[in-house]
Amino acid sequence: MLINERLVLLNSKAKNREELIRELALLAYKDGKISDIEDYIKAVLKREAEYSTAVGFGVAIPHGKSDSVIDPFLAFAKSEDIDWDAPDQNPVDIVFLIGVPEKDAGSLHLKILANLSRKLMKEDFRNSLRNIKTSAELLDFLNKSELGF
């Protein structure tokens, strides 16, 4: 499983993008997905610096490939509006944080992340995410979405 209920944050109060990335990375760290949290965050922020991972429609998918990632993971947060330097200028309130081991390019979980990226372009999918109330509901929804995990 890429995601579990310990990797879900439904009411983040983070004020900016780094704070939110840190909150989610901490969840992943506590869940044993990352060995060195600072190293991982550095990889994610470096990626953000290239260009924003906000994709518009209030969604961002920060991600980093790093040796500190033990297991590939997906963490989810719903937050208050955060400025994420989005291409459409909209603030972000839905965030998927993705962690992939550096040496692990080309395997199945990347395929899943590709599927997730495609789904995020659909309005229905985003609306459903915004209406989700509990982590169980989220996991159930993601399972039903045929992302392949």
Partner 1 sequence: MKILAVTACPTGIAHTYMAAEALEEAAKKRGYDIKVETRGSVGVENELTDAEIREADAIILACDTAVPMERFEGKKLLNVSVSEAIKNADELIDRSLNANIYKPNVKNQENISSSEPNKKEPTGIYKHLMNGVSYMIPFVVAGGIAIAISFLFGYDSASNEGSLAAYLMGIGGGTGAFGLMIPVLAGYIAYSIADRPGLAPGMIGGMVATQINAGFLGGLVAGFLAGYIVLAIKKYIKLPKNLQGIMPVLIIPVLGSLSTGLLLFYVIGTPVAAINNGMNNFLMSMSGTNAIILGAILGLMMAVDMGGPINKAAYAFGTATLTAAVGTGSEIMAAVMAAGMAPPLGIALATILFKNKFTKAEIEAGKACWVLGASFITEGAIPFAAADPIRVIPSLMVGSAITGALSMAFKATLAVPHGGIFVFFAVENLVGYIISIVVGTVVTALLLGVFKKNIAELAAQSK
Q: Which residues are catalytic?
A: 63
Q: How far is the CB of 58 from partner 1 (least distance, A)?
A: 13
Q: Which residue in 4, 31, 42, 47 binds partner 1 (CB under 8 A)?
A: 47
Q: How far is the CB of 48 from partner 1 (least distance, A)?
A: 11
Q: Which residue in 16, 107, 134, 143 binds partner 1 (CB under 8 A)?
A: 107
- The answer to whether residues 56 and 75 touch, using CB atoms and an 8 Å cutoff, is no
Three-state SS string over the chain comes to CCCCHHHEEEEECCCCHHHHHHHHHHHHHHCCCECCHHHHHHHHHHHHHHCCCEEECCEECCEEEECCECCCEEEEEEEEEECCCCCCCCCEEEEEEEEEEHHHCCCHHHHHHHHHHHHHCCHHHHHHHHHCCCHHHHHHHHHHCCCCC
Which span (3-11, 19-27, 43-51, 129-137) binds partner 1, by CB under 8 A? Answer: 43-51
CA 119 to CA 5: how far, in whole Å? Answer: 21
**120 makes contact with partner 1 (CB under 8 A):** yes
Contacts with partner 1, 52-91, as mask; x by CB under 8 A: -x-xx----x-x-x---------------------xx---
Q: Which residue in 12, 71, 110, 145 binds partner 1 (CB under 8 A)?
A: 110
Binding site for partner 1 (CB under 8 A): 47, 50-51, 53, 55-56, 61, 63, 65, 87-88, 98, 100, 105-108, 110-111, 113-118, 120-122, 148
